[in-house]
Amino acid sequence: MKKYRLGEFEEIVMLTVGILYGKAYGVSIKKEIENRADRKVSVGALQVSLKRLEKKGYLESYAGERTEERVGRPKLYYKITAQGQRAMEYNHELRNNLWTALPKFLTDPKFNI
């Protein structure tokens, strides 16, 4: 099913948007990923990925409030679309299937490889 393809970073972004339900905009997503995944996320990489996901129809955005710390610039909030949710579920399922198909000894702690 080609249409549900999600990259690694894209999947992280999708999940993070889901976690931050209702509060997901550029800075909050960036921080959440940096905290959870312990990696640096550049504004550029994130924005490109958000935009691409929006183009694919997995995310949709709406303008939010203007705060003082943003010198009056509005926030752009993101939320997951139904299509996006399907894509995430598909990915999750795919991974689960792959994990169960893995030979047992690979995941058994007795066999330390």
Applying CB under 8 A, the residues found at the interface with other proteins are: 25-27, 30, 42-45, 47-48, 51-52, 63, 66-67, 69-71, 73-76
- Select 62 or 99, whichever has its Cβ closest to other proteins: 62
Contact 74, 66 (CB under 8 A): yes
Rg, Å, the chain Cα set: 17
- Select 67 or 85, whichever has its Cβ closest to other proteins: 67
- Select 38 or 82, whichever has its Cβ closest to other proteins: 38
Work out how close the CB of 96 gets to other proteins at its nearest, in angstroms, rounded to a whole number.
32
- Select 44 or 103, whichever has its Cβ closest to other proteins: 44
- Alpha carbon distance 62, 94 (integer Å): 31
Work out how close the CB of 60 gets to other proteins at its nearest, in angstroms, rounded to a whole number.
14
Cα 24 → chain centroid: 11
3-state helix, strand, coil in the chain (%, to 5): 60, 15, 30
